[in-house]
Each structure stands twice: as structure tokens, then as C-alpha cells.
Structure 1
Amino acid sequence: MYGVELWTREELLRKCKERIDSLSLERTSLQETVTKFEAELNNVRTTALAAQDSAVSVAAERVIQFSTPF
């Protein structure tokens, strides 16, 4: 009725090792992806901070301009 596949101890160990190796490769790949995303996130943060600093500088210049008597 149901197909049953019997493995020897050696076959089972080999299949387990193959699966462990496969998972290890997946983990390495995921770690590399996380590292890339972290680098991109740091670039975005740096850009956002630079834009914020620039906006503050422009606002400060305008305050000085408008508060200085003619």
C-alpha cells in the first residue's frame, strides 16, 4: 500500500551528512546576505545623517539671514 524505503546505517549517515552540508551552505549564504544588507543600511543611515546635517545648516543660515537687520 505505502512505499517504504529502507536505508542502511551508512546510507542514513551519508544522507544526514549531505543535509548538514546543504544547511551549512544555506547558512553561509544567508550570513553573506545579512552582511550586505547591514552594509546597505549603514550607507542609508550615513546618507540620512548627512542630509539631516545639511538641512540643519540651511535652516541655521536662514535664521541668521532673517534675524540680521538690514
Structure 2
Amino acid sequence: YRLLRSIESGLRLMNTTARHDLPGDERELRRLAFLLHMHGPQELVDRCQQVTHENRRRFDRLFDEETSHYEECKT
């Protein structure tokens, strides 16, 4: 979550209109990686994918547990 918020803040500092997507332009991606103290754009992309995947896994697990609990309470 913190990394994704940092990316959003970096995009805001760069005055980009898209706040929820990584820049498609290599130069802008390199600039964002620099703002986030990363070694380069590939590290940024890799970490973003890793965090996004992990967040999705956690949300899915949480909602699966809640759905199971709800179904148990109905019966």
C-alpha cells in the first residue's frame, strides 16, 4: 500500500494526469523511479507488479474468508 501511495505522490509531483497508471514513456518512468529512490525503471515496474499482486492476494483471501463466514451464518 505504501509503495502504491508513493507512486501516486510521485506522479502528482510530475504533474501527470494519470494518477493510477505507470507512465508509458521510458523517460517519465525513469524520472518516477528516480523520485522513488529506485535504481531504474525496471525496478519500479517489478516492485509495482509484486506489490499489486500481493495486495490482490490479500484482498482475495480476506473476501473469501468473509464470504465463507457469511455463508456459514446463513445456514
So what's the TM-score if we normalise by structure 1? Answer: 0.50
Cα distance between partner residues in 1 of 2:62 and 2:43 = 28
Structure 2 unaligned spans of 5+: 1-36
Q: Do structure 1's residue 14 and structure 2's residue 46 form an aligned pair?
A: yes
Q: What is the number of residues matched between the two proteins?
A: 40
Provide the rounded CA distance (Å) in 2 between the counterparts of 1:27 and 1:6: 27
Alignment of 1:26 with 2:58, yes or no, is: yes
More helix by share: 1
Please tell me whether residue 40 in structure 1 is matched to residue 72 in structure 2: yes
**Off by >3 Å, runs of 4+ in structure 1:** none
Of the two structures, which has the highest relative contact order with CA contacts closer than 8 Å and spacing of 6 or more?
2
Percent identity, please: 15
Shift of 1:39: 1.1
- The higher radius of gyration belongs to 1
TM-score of the superposed pair, with normalisation by structure 2:
0.47
Matched residue, 1:60: none
Unaligned runs of 5+ in 1: 44-70
Q: CA RMSD in A?
A: 1.7
